Chain A
Amino acid sequence: MRRVVHVSALGVSLDGPSNYLRSKAEGEAVLMGSGLDVTVLRPSVIFGSEDRFLNLFAKLQALAPVMPLAGSQARFQPVWVEDVASAVVRCLDRPGTIGKIYECAGPTPYTLSELVRLAGRCRATSGRRSRCRPSPAGCRLWRWSACPASR
């Protein structure tokens, strides 16, 4: 196997503030120096029907009237899981992507507070009948997501 598409994360740095970001940066460095045909994707927080980020906050708000939230002003640019899955496929299809790093982000930045409120509104307006229709690509990829709650 020579071709690798590595799903990393936005904000990675060898001197980053967390073990997660530092280890992701180290992983990128190892792969980029491996001699393999590597493309790196750096997604922001990934959302989708089974994500463990927004769904987590939606569930928590169903249980508790008040939710303590650290890092409420932290900024995210959530990207849909199926967009990330599509990016993986496109990279595999395009040899010109080898050796490059792509940032995968949604169209809008939000603070964590805004995302949690949005998750609460989704929960508040949801019915009992599920309309989740994840695509196969989405189902596969959400487990690799860079969601903070899944680290």
Chain B
Amino acid sequence: MECLPGEPLMSRDNVDSMRVPNVASGHLPGLADLGIQATALEAVAAGPTSGRLSTAGATTAGAPAPAASRRRPRPQAGAGIEEGFVMQLVIGNKNYSSCVDAAGV
């Protein structure tokens, strides 16, 4: 990806960053200590988005949601989540995964 034309999609340094877990340690205060209830990814990504994640339906605790985002996302026709599969390929010390969604693309 680093070698593709244009702005690099992902660099070696990005991959190096992923060698450590990017999850909360639990040893430091978090959003809840600021009075914020963390929003689930699924709640934000539920709407049809033309290839982009929708913000519809998600709210931030403690702050009134704008009218446009008060509505919960409605299930869309054909939006039943179907499982895809992941192929993993190990070459040398590198691990590659191929993710294919249910639509086969």
Residues of chain A having any CB pair with chain B under 8 Å? 9-11, 13, 16-21, 42, 44-45, 47-51, 54-62, 65-80, 82-83, 86-87, 90-91, 94, 97, 100-110, 112-113, 116-118, 120-135, 138, 148-149, 151
Q: Please measure, in the bound complex, the distance between the C-alpha atom of A149 and the C-alpha atom of B22, giving whole angstroms.
A: 14
B99 to chain A, nearest CB (A): 4
B45 touches A54 (CB 8 A): yes
Q: Please measure, in the bound complex, the distance between the C-alpha atom of A132 and the C-alpha atom of B55, giving whole angstroms.
A: 6
Known: A20-B13, A71-B18, A132-B54. 11 other contacts (CB 8 A): A17-B19, A20-B14, A70-B95, A74-B22, A82-B39, A82-B60, A102-B33, A106-B41, A117-B86, A133-B68, A151-B11
Residues of chain B having any CB pair with chain A under 8 Å? 9-11, 13-25, 28-31, 33-36, 38-42, 44-45, 47-56, 58, 60, 62-63, 66, 68-69, 76, 78-79, 81-84, 86-89, 94-105
B28 touches A101 (CB 8 A): yes
B24 touches A44 (CB 8 A): yes
B31 touches A65 (CB 8 A): no
Closest 7 CB pairs of A and B: A72-B97, A18-B16, A120-B101, A74-B18, A71-B18, A105-B24, A127-B48
Closest A residue to B19 using CB positions: A17
B28 touches A78 (CB 8 A): no
Query: Would you list 27 pairs from A and B whose C-beta atoms are within 8 A, ordered by A residue?
Result: A10-B22, A10-B23, A11-B22, A49-B49, A51-B53, A61-B101, A65-B104, A72-B88, A74-B18, A80-B41, A80-B58, A82-B39, A82-B58, A83-B31, A102-B31, A106-B39, A113-B86, A122-B53, A125-B48, A126-B50, A129-B50, A132-B52, A133-B56, A135-B66, A148-B18, A149-B10, A151-B17
